[in-house]
Structure 1
Amino acid sequence: MSYAINYNEFLISGNGEEPCISVNDNDPAHIMYTSGTTGRPKGAILSHKNQLSNALSVLIERDSSPDEIFLCIPPLFHEAALALTLETVMMGGSTIIQRQFDPAAISETIGKEKITTLFMVPAMWNALLQVPNLGKFNFSSLKLAITGAAILPQSLRKAISGIIPNVKLYDMFGQTEMSPVTTLLKPKDALRKTASVGKPIIGVEIRVVDYHGQDVPVGQVGEIIYRSAGMLLEYYKNSEATEQAIVDGWFHSGDLVRLDSEGFVYVVDRKKDMVISGGENVYPAEVEAVLYNHEKVLEAAVIGIPSGKWGEGVHAVVVLKNGQYISAVELLEYCAAHLAGYKKPRSIDFAEALPRNAAGKVLKTKLREKFGSAMKY
């Protein structure tokens, strides 16, 4: 049974004396569990220095103001939501906590509370855009729109700018273990680097490496690894996972990326989500981006399923917009017109919704359980 303590009553109950407890930078602050999109969630032990150093770096990189009013929608056990709340506290701003994700209610809250800063994962932004008569709501107070936790499709980026034309849109990338932000795409770069998640923030070092831990050339796909003061101390009661993730002081993210000549990062996909079909690497995020661009598609997720001919077959699970219809054959033809032959889906299933965790990330493990998980070697 859970309950909440009234904050004012809690303050009155104290004696006002500062506790004589010494807290060091590297002391654990809390355990934040990972999203569990590729397996069982792990408890990342984060220190006070982890949290504060990352928050300060982000504040330096993005626009910020003591008058900021942040609308917190994702749960506070989501590291990005907690980090943004901490940033707001450090500036002396205000935070409004939305108890449930209700797109229409959120649209009303923005106008009523004069919200200046809004963070939502792409799935939440997508749902907001589906609210009937969205133009009747007042979004004029919004100055910063922040997205993260998943790759933002370019079609969605344009749609956000369409409903909030004067807002500055920041695309944050990272993960729980890094407290959490590692790269940031700023508004000034969004038009010329449309598919990027930006550059590393101050204090974060990155490398892109192959399976042997060797740096790959610019433009080549590899795993991005990090080193910073925001890196977790260890995984809670999981020394094996800690040793696998932290090697020679570098955190191995499991994210596949490439760098351009200016140092901008482009996310290709999760290492564990990559599909090997007929000996060719297929990155689900690329296929999903094509599906998202179809006017009748609301959401899409791509996985590899067993195939006697190809080893792994590219399979798409698609959610259509309300009132829309398209056959699997038509959608496969659309993909064939926009993707190389080996990348296009071999099969499509339609669903009412994609399975997600509380942070809004698609649980591809659930999709693999339903449609079949291809064997990995």
Structure 2
Amino acid sequence: MLQLATLINHHAAFRPDEVALVFEDERLNWRDFAARVDRCACLLRWLGVRRGDRVATVLANCRELLEIYWAVPAIGAVLVPLSPLLLASGLASLLRDAGAVCVITQRSLAPMLDEVRGELPQLRADRILLVDGASGDFPDYRALLGSCPEGGHSPVPVAQDELFNIMYTSGTTGLPKGIMHSHFVRAMYCTLFAAAWRMRPESVVLHTGAIVFNGAFVTLMPCFYLGARYVLLRQFDAVEAIEVIARERVTHTMMVPAQIIAVLNAPNFAPEKLASLEMILSLGAPLYQEHKDQLNRLLPNRFYELYGLTEGFWTILDRTQSLRKSGSVGSPPCFFEMRIVREDGSDAEAGEVGEIVGRGPSLMLGYYGRPDLSDQAIRDGWLHTGDLGYADAEGYLYLVDRKKDMIDSGGVKVYPKDIEEVAARHPAIREVAVFGVAHEKWGETPVAAVLLHAGASATASELCAWINGRVGARYQRVHAVQIMDDFPRNAAGKTLKREMRDRYNEGKEAGQ
């Protein structure tokens, strides 16, 4: 039997006075955090939540979300973290798909849940709990914690292949799919990532983004496994993140590329303020070489990069290789295998581009309720990622692009990442995203959307000429440059290229 929720009681028994969690003005030691997890578990059982039931959270970062994350598996139930940015129709469809019998959320979302409650017959009003006060038919989570029968219960034993959570994909490529992770898979997150990041019980781990997306578990699970200190921000703010790192002596942090860029350009950025860091992990999307070089120059021997899918395959660029293999996203960890395959399914040679295929002990159980999609993704035990890349002679992986993002211009494959790497070198450009749009002659042609540094001055036509004068081939020239105030992003901070493409097309149709 493998019960991850026993980790909390273990640390409460053997490291009770060590700080477990820092959130805003709250500092909880392991004894106090374990007591809160136990109270939450007792509340859920009192409400009738049973082993195997789905418990959904629809919350922004808060202390309650972390205690729920550990209380749900403690009673053998299944965690379903959902983004508070969902609209009513999307929220209803995911709650219905997961079969959630309990939802813990916030008052600002109560009207939306009231609106969709009729579509969710399995969800009773008394099991829609609000962490910041009752509203209408929905009770106050904190008040119920104080009124439900006393606890002292032990975590329910579960088999290692039982469900720990259902993580819904961000929906950047269509309708979200529920990715099923077992207790065993999450245990692999604990142990393998703890070793990869060189974490220890004395580490201080900062998380600045939303913890509802799977990338957060890359540092959350090893931190709680080791009994290290977890510092959580309510939301990402580059200036605040720098000050917290300096004040708390943070040793490990992970960010998506847009957050790393924002930190590097923050008005209070100074390498000495980040001197305590032993790891700066980039994940979620490729960090452009320009920014990797800047980071390695200003904060040497700290940069790691993770390429990974929630479905369960990873490669890791270790800090010891971040200069020697700076264009790479690393190699598969121990117990993982990787292949690069051609369209006919045969293995590609070193340096030859193909689809990235991998397997290892973190593979998902499948997509919830969609065995057809599961069979498409995992074939003969290998996860087909839909990403394009190549391996060098040493087995290090180099990303080329997503298959879905590849642009077919006049029969030639154009990879947006190649153009983005060029554009990112322009001194006025802070971020760039390249996507394909329809073209009457070439079929598709690339367009670059950019964000400028504060105070930078450049016109779209100037940037277009600069980029087109430096790309490696004529077919990589961009048709247009759009200067934007910000990019549309999902809860994980990933750029939504599909939405940008749609906006561009709408603007063209409107004659803008």
Structures share a fold, TM > 0.5? yes
- AA at the equivalent of 1:121: V
Please, what TM-score do these two structures have when normalized by structure 1? Answer: 0.92
Deviations 1:31-71 (A, max 9, x none): 11122222222110111111112332222333222111100
Please name the residue that 2:220 is paired with. 85
CA distance in 2: counterparts of 1:297 and 1:337, whole angstroms: 16
Provide the secondary structure at the position in 2 that maps to 1:131. coil
Tell me, yes or no, if structure 1 residue 123 matches structure 2 residue 255: no
* Equivalent residues, number: 368
CA contact (8 A) 2:328 2:399 kept: yes
- AA at the equivalent of 1:64: M
Whose radius of gyration is greater, 1 or 2?
A: 2
- Structure 2 unaligned segments of length 5 or more: list them: 1-104, 107-129, 132-140, 507-512
Tell me, yes or no, if structure 1 residue 174 matches structure 2 residue 308: yes
Structure-to-structure mapping, 1:179-198, within 5 angstroms: 182-198=314-330
Please name the residue that 2:505 is paired with. 372
- AA at the equivalent of 2:277: L
CA distance in 2: counterparts of 1:112 and 1:270, whole angstroms: 39
Could you tell me the percent identity over the aligned residues?
35
Match of 1:18 among 144, 154, 159: 154
Please name the residue that 2:61 is paired with. none
Please name the residue that 2:374 is paired with. 242
Provide the secondary structure at the position in 1 that maps to 2:449. strand
CA contact (8 A) 1:35 1:41 kept: yes
Match of 1:55 among 156, 166, 190: 190
CA contact (8 A) 2:208 2:237 kept: no
CA distance in 1: counterparts of 2:176 and 2:185, whole angstroms: 20
CA distance in 1: counterparts of 2:316 and 2:162, whole angstroms: 27
- Structure 1 unaligned segments of length 5 or more: list them: none
Match of 1:76 among 211, 215, 221: 211
Q: 1:309 to 1:258 in 2, by over 3 A?
A: same
Please name the residue that 2:491 is paired with. 358
Deviation at 1:171, TM superposition (A): 0.6
Tell me, yes or no, if structure 1 residue 44 matches structure 2 residue 176: no
- AA at the equivalent of 2:231: I
Deviation at 1:311, TM superposition (A): 0.6
- AA at the equivalent of 1:368: R
CA distance in 2: counterparts of 1:230 and 1:48, whole angstroms: 10
Moved more, 97-106 or 259-268: 97-106
Structure-to-structure mapping, 1:317-328, within 5 angstroms: 317-328=449-460
- AA at the equivalent of 2:491: A
Q: 1:6 to 1:198 in 2, by over 3 A?
A: farther
CA distance in 1: counterparts of 2:346 and 2:500, whole angstroms: 33
Q: 1:13 to 1:199 in 2, by over 3 A?
A: farther
Deviation at 1:287, TM superposition (A): 0.7
Deviation at 1:164, TM superposition (A): 3.0
CA contact (8 A) 2:242 2:268 kept: no
Please name the residue that 2:4 is paired with. none
State the structure with bigger RCO (CA 8 A, min sep 6), 1 or 2: 1
Deviations 1:188-229 (A, max 9, x none): 211121110010011211111122222111111111111112
Please, what TM-score do these two structures have when normalized by structure 2? Answer: 0.68
CA distance in 2: counterparts of 1:6 and 1:261, whole angstroms: 57
Match of 2:231 among 77, 81, 96: 96
CA contact (8 A) 2:356 2:388 kept: yes
CA contact (8 A) 1:38 1:364 kept: no
CA distance in 2: counterparts of 1:82 and 1:192, whole angstroms: 28
Deviations 1:141-174 (A, max 9, x none): 2111111111011111122234434x51111110
Provide the secondary structure at the position in 2 that maps to 1:338. coil
Higher helix share: 2
CA contact (8 A) 1:319 1:350 kept: yes
Deviation at 1:13, TM superposition (A): 6.2
RMSD: 2.1
Structure-to-structure mapping, 1:230-269, within 5 angstroms: 230-269=362-401
Please name the residue that 1:346 is paired with. 479
Deviations 1:243-284 (A, max 9, x none): 211112111111101010000000001110000111110111
CA distance in 2: counterparts of 1:13 and 1:70, whole angstroms: 34
Match of 1:286 among 418, 429, 443: 418
